[in-house]
């Protein structure tokens, strides 16, 4: 019988008693270091909801971001790139603590493009194994933190400043909280009403005021409340949803996040009490292997002092295994115990592999998944919202003082060391970067770091003979191939087939802007480095140090400068030429739509009449060929939808979705006599036929599609979106009245 190790409600009470407020004191930890920002469709109110914040938007409409290429275009980009990563003429003094670091940063504010009175708060001090120390600060607006605004200063072992990496914003110092505003408690009640019947429960004591950029206008900001609930959507690998409510009381949207903005009230101290009443033992024996046969394992286990019952856990590392449903439904840690039939072999396999991954990162100077040694909970038996096996493994964020990981034990994830190390890395990068912007290129870079570290750790442990760097090759089927991305529908270079451009409206059904698709770009760079024979231990240490240098807004343009700098800092400059060649091969230095077709492919493009910036819907464009269909959407900075495809015959259509509703608004299809709109009902009955305009694409050719009829068709999409918005507003009013 399984033992209920500790009831979480009691733990939370103890945590609140044990932990102080966050304050401004930075935390110091060493390094050798679903997370996630993405819009959940089921709760996304989009610009329909954001319209209620117009007064706040007007008050800050002149604010400009000064933090890099993510918010600039044209001739400003080069200057901004140089401003967000500085390595020369930084500070003449010696840096011994965060006060010295902040003094050094304030002397650089002019070069970073921010005002002298920019407010900073220290959050972490992170040294690496070579004595380099990173001082990490977040930017504040009053008492509100500015979303994603982080600056890092690196000092060498002698205390000399050697680098600054910034995603700070400018021109926000004079913006005050609106005088007319709802309270935090009222914001929480709005979330409860909005999420009624979904199973979402508001986390008490962590609601905070934040200063946010508009989703569709990154140079303007507004104040909002961030209200946290449990994550009710299993398609997003995060523990919580953060719900934004503007100061006028309008519910805006929600994002999956690994933990509340201020995690201090969930310190690991109380969670450590879960080990009370146990003593440490060691168990050795054989466990079944999914493909047949057995393997020998020796694992630490916990022994109940009263009953003698054994369960999977390790006091030294602070790792314990529990039942997924019991934790999710009842806030209980119900341990995975030795029963009448012995251990569950898959639970033992996952646990054993996780501990070996843990030790590999420890050898590189990273203590536990978050570097802080926070207690870790491995939840077994992960299922989806229908109670079916989730066919997934994920890092589920920080919950009740634990760093939580979830595993579907009907799949052999215990034999997929790369998958477990991938999820471990998600926790590392989430911690090091203070938050992850899990969409577009930012999300693709984040996914790539997990793939890279996952394969390196698997190799270091000798758990694979794979030389192609497949992901999950010991599971049911591999997910990705880092050496040959096209094999699993990923691009090998920017504007290769399968490449997806950054977009304005990241959603679940567009891979949040290609986060799992475009991860292949940095993956291939890492594989090229591996081909040089650089020792695996050095590679892991290198990528960990790159992650520690990054901010939430680090993009490809910044990585191009960070990668060789980090090689220099760890004493491996001989690999800089390899990195430079791989950067050229993948083309990450220029994400703009090319003027000529990529080698061996055709380029198809057309222009929408208007940008999506001011729309309450988003589009997905599909080019359908006889062999394969290719997806794209309008580029974030233009009205142009483009896709690189193999030569062949294609037709094309665009599907549209309202921000707050996953139901289709219909399609616009290119017919022989021009573009035509078909509403949602008509698209269900529409069958491909001779009516569609089938066009030929040849390798090396740029095909610009005609736009006759497109403007009129898009007006009908606008009308459908307006009707959907009115329907949602009416339902909200009826719900409030009820």
> What confidence tens digit (pLDDT) does each residue in 404-438 have?
999 999 999 999 999 999 999 999 998 888 777 88
pLDDT in tens, 105-118: 999 999 999 999 99
Cβ(443)–Cβ(437) under 8 Å? yes
- For residue 278, what is the DSSP state? E
Most confidently modeled of 248-252, 328-332, 538-542, 618-622? 538-542
> In order of start, what are the domains of the chain with their CATH numbers?
1-14+273-432 (3.10.170.10), 37-61+176-257 (no CATH), 69-166 (3.10.450), 433-592 (1.10.390.10), 602-730 (2.60.40)
* 189 confidence band (pLDDT: 50, 70, 90): very high
DSSP secondary structure letter of residue 508: G
pLDDT tens digit sequence for 68-108: 333 332 334 445 556 899 999 999 999 999 999 999 999 99
Using DSSP's 3-state secondary structure scheme, residue 613 falls into: helix
Maximum separation of any 2 CA atoms in the chain, in Å: 81
* pLDDT band, very low/low/confident/very high, at 467 (cuts 50, 70, 90): very high
Name the pLDDT band for 143 (thresholds 50, 70, 90): confident
CA distance 731 to 735: 6
Query: 172-186, 187-201, 250-264, 644-658: which has the minimum mean pLDDT?
Result: 250-264
In this structure, the strands spanning 402-407 and 376-380 are parallel
Q: Is the pLDDT of residue 309 over 70?
A: yes
If we measure between CA atoms, which residue out of 203, 324, 319 comes closest to residue 265?
Answer: 203
Give pLDDT, residue 516. 93
Say if CB 141 and CB 180 are below 8 A apart.
no
How do strand 480-481 and strand 470-471 relate by DSSP bridges? antiparallel
Closest CA to 252 of 287, 218, 213: 213
């Amino acid at each position: 019988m399984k033992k209920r190790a500790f009831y979480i409600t009691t733990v939370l009470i103890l945590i609140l008693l044990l932990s102080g407020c966050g304050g401004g004191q930075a935390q110091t930890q060493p390094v050798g270091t679903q997370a996630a920002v993405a819009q959940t469709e089921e709760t996304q109110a989009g610009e329909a909801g954001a319209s209620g914040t117009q007064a706040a938007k007007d008050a800050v409409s002149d604010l400009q971001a000064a933090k890099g290429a993510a918010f600039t275009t044209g001739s400003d980009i080069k200057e901004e790139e140089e401003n967000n990563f500085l390595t020369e003429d930084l500070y003449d003094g010696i840096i011994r603590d965060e006060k010295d670091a902040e003094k050094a940063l304030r002397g650089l504010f002019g070069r970073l493009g921010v005002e002298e009175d920019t407010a900073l708060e220290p959050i972490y001090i992170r040294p690496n194994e070579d004595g380099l120390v990173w001082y990490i600060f977040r930017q504040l607006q009053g008492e509100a933190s500015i979303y994603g605004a982080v600056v890092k200063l690196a000092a060498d072992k002698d205390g000399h400043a050697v680098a600054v990496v910034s995603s700070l914003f400018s021109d926000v110092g004079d913006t005050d909280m609106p005088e007319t505003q709802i309270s935090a408690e009222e914001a929480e009640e709005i979330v409860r009403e909005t999420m009624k019947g979904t199973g979402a429960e508001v986390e008490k004591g962590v609601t905070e005021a934040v200063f946010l950029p508009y989703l569709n206008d990154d140079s303007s900001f507004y104040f909002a409340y961030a209200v946290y609930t449990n994550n009710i959507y299993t398609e997003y690998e995060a523990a919580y949803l953060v719900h934004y409510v503007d100061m006028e009381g309008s519910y805006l949207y929600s994002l999956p996040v690994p933990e509340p903005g201020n995690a201090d009230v969930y310190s690991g101290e109380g969670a450590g009490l879960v080990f009370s009443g146990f003593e440490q033992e060691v168990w050795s024996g054989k466990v079944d292997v999914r493909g047949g046969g057995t393997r020998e394992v020796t694992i630490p286990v916990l022994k109940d002092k009263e009953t003698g019952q054994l369960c999977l856990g390790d006091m030294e590392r602070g790792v314990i295994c529990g039942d997924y449903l019991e934790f999710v439904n009842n806030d209980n840690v119900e341990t995975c115990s030795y029963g009448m039939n012995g251990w569950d072999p898959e639970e033992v396999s996952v646990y054993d592999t996780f501990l070996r991954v843990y030790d590999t990162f420890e050898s590189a100077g990273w203590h536990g998944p978050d570097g802080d040694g926070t207690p870790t909970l491995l939840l077994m038996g992960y299922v989806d919202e229908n109670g079916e096996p989730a066919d997934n493994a994920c890092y589920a964020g920080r919950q009740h003082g634990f760093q939580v990981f979830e595993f579907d034990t009907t799949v052999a994830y215990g034999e997929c060391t790369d998958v477990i190390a991938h999820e471990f890395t998600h926790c590392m990068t989430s911690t090091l970067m203070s938050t992850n912007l899990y969409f577009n290129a930012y999300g693709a870079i984040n996914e790539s770091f997990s793939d890279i570290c996952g394969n390196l750790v698997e190799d270091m442990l000798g758990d694979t003979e794979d030389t192609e760097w497949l992901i999950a090759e010991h599971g049911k089927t591999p997910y990705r191939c880092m050496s040959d991305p096209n094999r699993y529908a990923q691009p090998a270079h920017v504007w290769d087939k399968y490449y997806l451009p950054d977009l304005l409206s990241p959603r679940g059904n567009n891979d949040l802007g290609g986060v799992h698709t475009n991860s292949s770009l940095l993956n291939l760079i890492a594989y090229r480095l591996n081909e040089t024979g650089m020792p695996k231990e050095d590679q892991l240490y290198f990528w960990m140090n790159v992650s520690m240098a990054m901010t939430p807004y680090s993009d490809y343009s910044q990585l191009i400068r960070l990668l060789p700098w980090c090689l220099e800092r760890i004493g491996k400059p001989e690999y800089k030429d390899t990195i430079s060649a791989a950067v050229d091969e993948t083309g990450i230095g220029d994400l703009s739509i090319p003027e000529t077709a990529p080698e061996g492919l055709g380029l198809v493009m057309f222009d929408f009449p208007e940008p999506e910036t001011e729309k309450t819907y988003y589009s997905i464009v599909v080019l359908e060929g006889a062999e394969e269909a290719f997806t794209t959407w309008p580029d974030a900075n233009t009205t142009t939808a483009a896709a690189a495809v193999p030569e062949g015959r294609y037709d094309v259509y665009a599907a549209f979705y309202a921000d707050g509703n996953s139901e289709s608004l219909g399609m616009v299809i290119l017919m022989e006599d021009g573009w035509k709109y078909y509403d949602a009902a008509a698209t269900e009955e529409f069958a491909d036929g001779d009516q569609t305009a089938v066009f030929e694409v040849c390798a090396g050719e740029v095909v610009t599609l005609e736009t006759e009829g497109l403007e009129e068709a898009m007006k009908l999409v606008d009308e459908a979106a307006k009707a959907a918005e009115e329907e949602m507003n009416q339902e909200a009013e009826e719900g409030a009245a009820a």
